[in-house]
Chains A and B, each alone.
Chain A
Amino acid sequence: MNTEERKLADLLHRITPEPPRRVTVEQVAYRLVSEPKLGRQTRGRESAAPRPRRRGPLFSRALAPVMAAAAVVVIAGAGAGIAVLANSHHTPPASAGGPASSASSSASASSSPTQTASSTQQTTPATGLAGAPWGAELIGHQALVQGSLISADGSLYAIGNTSTLDRINPATGAVVASVPYNMPVWNPPVVVGNTVWEVSSYNGGNIVLQGYDARTLARTSSLLVPAIGGVSIGGQGVLTSGPDGNLYVAAGETVAVVNPAIPQEIHRIQVLAGKTSSVAVSPDGSKLYVGTGSSTSFRLVVFNLPSDTIANESTLTSGGAGGNLVATSGGVWGTTGSGHSEWVWFAPNGNLARAVQVGQGAGGGLSSFPSYSGGVVWVGGTGDVVCASPATGQVLAKTDIPADHGVAQYFASPVVSAGQAYSYYQTDASQQTGLVRMTPPAACTGNVSS
């Protein structure tokens, strides 16, 4: 090797990270059983296993190991033998049966949506979860990205762990439409009118937004938004919508305002406080909340709209990085954390100096994001599930989450559809994951001053 080659080798060894977890013999055994051709193929044709669609950078936060969900592995003595019991009911949404729908002409073949025929929908009889908060019952077995579940116009939308954007029927828990989607930065879907918007690329100086038909998930729009100064690498909640029907995008050192009907960028707000990582717009459209910061601090800049003047700036003094902003009438909500824990704060009028923690949040590297749905703010996690007033941040009701055989269970922040609350649930102890339906108390029905 010459000097340049040695430097490259040194670089590769120096900055290639250690894996978050190791591969186990049990995982390999499962692969061998579930894909027997792996062990039969001839030289040079060792595997025809299709590559999984590339997952987003935050996929690892969604701790729903496919292995755990899809198989029970029993070790019958090291070196002696392994019995693998494969079960079949945890089919990923993307591979659910049903004919491909007729996508719009703008949808490429690689992103054609799948309409799940009613006869093959993966409906699951509701299963009560013993001791679960607010009478939660499991109605689906989808593996979803934590915090990606939203509710709009009688449907639920979420990002599937198998790199899909899914529409879910809340009545049955079944995925009724699905389209391949790789999440480049954490952001739940944003619904404006009849279009579901997501960020399809968030890299360097370019952001690409894509719109999908809200019913069929056929791709209908694509828009390039330049990121002045390059995007933040810590983006968490970079796309939102305002009551004016416009999209707001954290775009480098600016926030871009996009009219999704055209679709075109119509305005650009200079932030001048570093790279923007999260945005939210107040329900009345008078305030724009912009998060910036590093891995150890989080800064919030509040703009008056439409003047674009700065109303307030403050910094979160506890925790680390922040983001996932949600605006309500009384202020703004967001997340921060330390180590493997994350929790939600509420900042009255967008002033972080007065921020208070809401709910216990999540431990074990799981996520706790605020959701504003059904007139109240919801906060889930591994400790408790709470609903809180959007005006004051006051907790209106809470329920503790019990452990499952000594292992923490996870309930994501609920969303409301047709008067019912829905949450994403997972437990490693009994290897269950999926959509749950809850019955929160009357205090959470949104009949509060907001």
Chain B
Amino acid sequence: MDTLTGVEHLAEPDGFRDFVEARSSALLRSGWLLTGDWPSAEDLVQTALAATWPRWSSLRRQDAPELYVRKIMVNTFLRWRQRRWTGEIATGRLPETQAHDVFAQVDARQSLLAALDRLPARQRAVVVLRYFADQTESQTAEAMGCSVGAVKSHASKALARLRDAPGLAELMTGGVAS
């Protein structure tokens, strides 16, 4: 028999549902780029949205709920990596890519995740915020709690590493159909 341990009534903030429905897909995709798998991405997004809920009214007034959610996602991700980092670095040969088929798409994603796995957590976070979430350098710096110079430095180092990642250079020149 189930044991009820808590009954709580939560007031759903105005506009929160619309935001979740409209932006959860994009947030989940960012979470996937950060964590590399959907269950962790879902956990990351749920965590960020739960932290956003109590502050929703003021964030909405400032027209900045998404920036706040992404900030929490990145900081939570960085904290997870600090706690769970095992020193494992993805290495080894990557599967050959074949253009314009399902396998190629899967291979491309695998190559991308393998390349992102090789980045230190802060560089990975900068890549996701700057180049996927399309945030400015100052917005990225604000989200990560660092200077714009640090963002530039992380971005530069990340690009250098990605440039050398097996299979990624070809992908960046457009080798795989979407």
Contact = CB atoms under 8 A, between A and B. Distances in A.
Interface of A: 1, 4-5, 7-25, 27-29, 31-35, 38-41, 44, 46-55, 57, 59-60, 76, 78-89, 110, 203-206, 230, 233, 294-295
Contacts of A21: 42
A383 B41 CA distance: 32
B47 A15 contact: no
A54 B84 CA distance: 10
19 contacts: A4-B163, A8-B131, A11-B168, A14-B178, A15-B105, A15-B109, A22-B20, A23-B49, A39-B51, A46-B48, A47-B75, A48-B79, A54-B35, A59-B37, A60-B39, A203-B114, A204-B91, A205-B93, A294-B103
Interface string B3-37: 11111111110101100110011011100110111
Given A17-B29, A203-B92, A57 B37 contact: yes
Interface residues of B, number: 84
Interface of B: 2-12, 14, 16-17, 20-21, 24-25, 27-29, 32-33, 35-43, 45-51, 53-54, 72, 75-76, 79-80, 83-84, 86, 90-96, 102-103, 105-110, 112, 114, 127-128, 130-132, 134, 145, 155, 159, 162-163, 168, 171-174, 176, 178
Nearest to A20: B38
Nearest to A110: B86
B131 A5 contact: yes
Contacts of B96: 230
Nearest to A204: B92
Nearest to A52: B43
Contacts of A19: 24-25, 28-29, 32, 38, 41-42
A31 B92 contact: no
A31 B176 CA distance: 38
Residue from A28, A59, A79 whose CB has the most chain B CB atoms within 10 Å: A28
Given A19-B29, A47-B51, 11 more contacts: A5-B155, A11-B171, A13-B132, A23-B27, A23-B28, A32-B53, A46-B51, A47-B47, A60-B39, A81-B11, A204-B114
A88 B91 CA distance: 41
B105 A47 contact: no
Contact of A15 (B21, B93, B178): B178
Nearest to B166: A204
Q: Which 8 A-B pairs have the closest CB atoms?
A: A204-B92, A51-B80, A19-B28, A31-B50, A9-B131, A87-B2, A23-B24, A39-B54
B145 A206 contact: no
A60 B33 CA distance: 17
A37 B107 CA distance: 40
A78 B122 CA distance: 38
A27 to B, nearest CB: 6
Given A78-B12, A110-B86, A51 B43 contact: yes
A53 B35 CA distance: 11
A47 B76 contact: yes
A295 B50 contact: no
B3 A22 contact: no
